[in-house]
Structure 1
Amino acid sequence: MAEAQRTGRGIALGAKIEGAGGFPHGVLRGTQLWDAAWNSLRIVGLAALICGFFGLLIGYVVVRGAGSRVSSFLRQVSFLHYLVPGIAFAAASLSLFAVRLRQDDHPAHDRRTGAAHPG
């Protein structure tokens, strides 16, 4: 530790936590951050290509097969992603904030005696 202070390099992030790798050479100097960024860019690029391809395919089928059952089904399914984020956000909000308190957890309830305090 005295050596790290003398050289001005500081102590590695997570050096005192056993099993934590941290960034021993700095966040931007090591390869972990750049590897993670490159992986993220590859995943995003691949997802964009796949979604673009399927979007063009669905658009072609909907326009060329206007009035068919497949066309109307694909048109309805393609708008499903507009509904899911709202539903997912509502479900998450309900699960986080609409938790019913047990009688023991109520602030006006005395756990030692079991009696309820007024107000």
Structure 2
Amino acid sequence: MVSSFAADPRTLEIEARKDDVLRQLAQCESGGTGDSDRPIYGGRGAFVGRFQFMPRTVIGFVRDMDGRNLSVPEAIALAHDYEQAAALAKFAIFERDAISHWPLCNRKLGLRQQVEVIKSM
């Protein structure tokens, strides 16, 4: 049986704004959005994927988000998967107020202000 649940316009607007913040962040951090045809590394290999996560940061947020304990290779693989990394970044930013993990792009794009507006909606 298919649910007849449909998100209300306000919820759709909030989610669209969150997704826009994520697109801006990925573009700023790695120069693009979506999956890449090759692994993305920054900071001499310390940062991984479109959102330039550190593997230990992925491990910590995944444990906090759903209780899973990832190995470093699993964390790197997650960071390279755009959909999973975007979901993790969304959790970190909007559920754990962790926009400070991206200091340069946060300042450059005014992300903290955007997040505050979204949270007030």
* TM-score by shorter chain over 0.5: no
> Which structure has more helix as a fraction of its residues?
2
| Higher relative contact order, chain-length normalized (CA < 8 Å, sep 6+) | 2
Q: TM-score, normalised by structure 2?
A: 0.28
